[in-house]
Amino acid sequence: MNKRVLVTGAGGLIGSEACKFYLNKGYEVLGIDNNLRKYFFGEGGDTSKNIASTLKNYPSFVNYALDIRERPAVLDFFKKNGPFDLVIHTAAQPSHDWAAKEPFTDFDVNANGTFNMLEAFRLYSPKGVFIFTSTNKVYGDNPNKVALVETETRYDYALDQKISGVSQNGIDEEMSLDHCKHSIFGASKVAADVMAQEYGKYFGLNVGVFRGGCLTGPQHSAVALHGFLAYIVDCAVNKTQYTIIGYKGKQVRDQIHSSDVIFAFDEFFKNPKQGEAYNLGGTKENSASILEVIKILKEEFNLELDWNYKDQPRIGDHICYYTDMSKFKEHYPNWKLTKNLRDIIKEIIESKREQK
């Protein structure tokens, strides 16, 4: 029998990538996406475009406009459509700036929505695999408390410190989730992250938690408040002014292509663990500051970015964050990054130009 896969947030960057991946393997794929992202971010966050343009060519794909906040509806959906071999839960409110405007909505989507999904999975697909896309924001501003060095273009980790959770390879899973400022978004994702771990460890279910950094790619419906790399490229291509917010533009992020994210998910699916948490990102090799990205766009892609500067950093924002994936690589040695930073930027540029 064909395997059955359920993907929430099916029209989003990671959701649509997951749908394509498993549809191309011949699996039966169901999606859940009610385009709440458009409510969060306006037209720029409209996920229905991905479903219409990317997934419409797969006749076996069906999307359901289900609201994961509605517990009876979620339970009924699993009861009628399960069991599922794999559930990839990507649906979320993803912006820590937006969350402060509507904390109830943020928590209901991120925490309660995930809880609804986990319980439905336990009841109706307990032999399957559940993958939860968490976030590195569960670490709050603890990464800002480590010792940093400042260069001309970036901040970076000081190599001589001996602090749990950080090394010259980046931030690992030993970084504390506690005693810090998370933002409302970060706190709601902590609740979901810990609950997902508990469903794996307490109930003995195959649940993986992936604390993503900057997940990106050409399908990213990026906006000013979410999706740094895709948004800055969009501004450069479309001659829109970009605002650097704080830290002199030297704040650092690592970028991982959505296809490499699904590569990691599939490795976990083939050999799942119970309640394990992994950091997920582009690692140091795919890291860059805003200033460095601006330089790459100009010198390597002939794109001049019009930008201004706002000196007040975003609450809970990381100064420097790139991912140490040693734990995941140890557990899943077949996985590796297949796309470097320049590959990713090139793909996003080409996609933005096609959309013009």
Average pLDDT, stretch 16-24?
Answer: 96
In the structure, what pLDDT confidence band is assigned to residue 288 with cuts at 50, 70 and 90?
very high
Alpha helices by DSSP H, listed for 241-331, are 258-270, 290-301, 326-331
In the structure, what pLDDT confidence band is assigned to residue 225 with cuts at 50, 70 and 90?
low
| Predicted pLDDT of residue 263 | 98
| Predicted pLDDT of residue 352 | 87
For the chain, percent of residues with pLDDT exceeding 70: 99
d(CA 228, CA 214): 8
Q: Is the dihedral of CA 346, 347, 350, 356 positive or negative?
A: negative
Which segment of 83-87, 93-97, 280-284, 292-296 scores lowest on mean pLDDT? 93-97
Residue 226 pLDDT greater than 80, yes or no: no
Average pLDDT, stretch 173-179?
Answer: 96
Task: Say if CB 58 and CB 100 are below 8 A apart.
Answer: no
| Predicted pLDDT of residue 301 | 97
Write out pLDDT tens, residues 68-123. Answer: 999 999 999 999 999 999 999 999 998 888 999 999 999 999 999 999 999 999 99
Domain residue spans in the chain? Answer: 4-355
Sequence-ordered list of residues with C-beta below 8 angstroms from that of 138, at least 6 positions apart, any chain = 177, 182, 186, 189, 190, 193, 211
Residue 264 pLDDT greater than 80, yes or no: yes
Q: Is the dihedral of CA 191, 215, 32, 328 positive or negative?
A: negative
Residue 350 pLDDT greater than 90, yes or no: yes
In the structure, what pLDDT confidence band is assigned to residue 141 with cuts at 50, 70 and 90?
very high
Quote the mean pLDDT of the chain. Answer: 94
For the chain, percent of residues with pLDDT exceeding 90: 83
| Predicted pLDDT of residue 140 | 93
| Predicted pLDDT of residue 44 | 76
d(CA 253, CA 281): 9
Residue 250 pLDDT greater than 90, yes or no: yes
Residue 1 pLDDT greater than 70, yes or no: no
Which segment of 96-110, 145-159, 220-234 scores lowest on mean pLDDT? 220-234
Matching residue, tokens 């509605």: 70
Residue 3 pLDDT greater than 70, yes or no: yes
Amino acid at 179: H
Write out pLDDT tens, residues 182-219. Answer: 999 999 999 999 999 999 999 999 999 999 999 999 88
Average pLDDT, stretch 239-247?
Answer: 95
| CATH (residue range 4-355) | 3.40.50.720
Residue 303 pLDDT greater than 80, yes or no: yes
d(CA 317, CA 142): 10
Tell me the residue length of the chain. 356
- Does the pTM surpass 0.75? The reply is yes
Task: Say if CB 286 and CB 215 are below 8 A apart.
Answer: no
- Tokens for 283, please give them: 């690692």
Average pLDDT, stretch 57-75?
Answer: 95
Average pLDDT, stretch 323-347?
Answer: 97
| Predicted pLDDT of residue 179 | 95
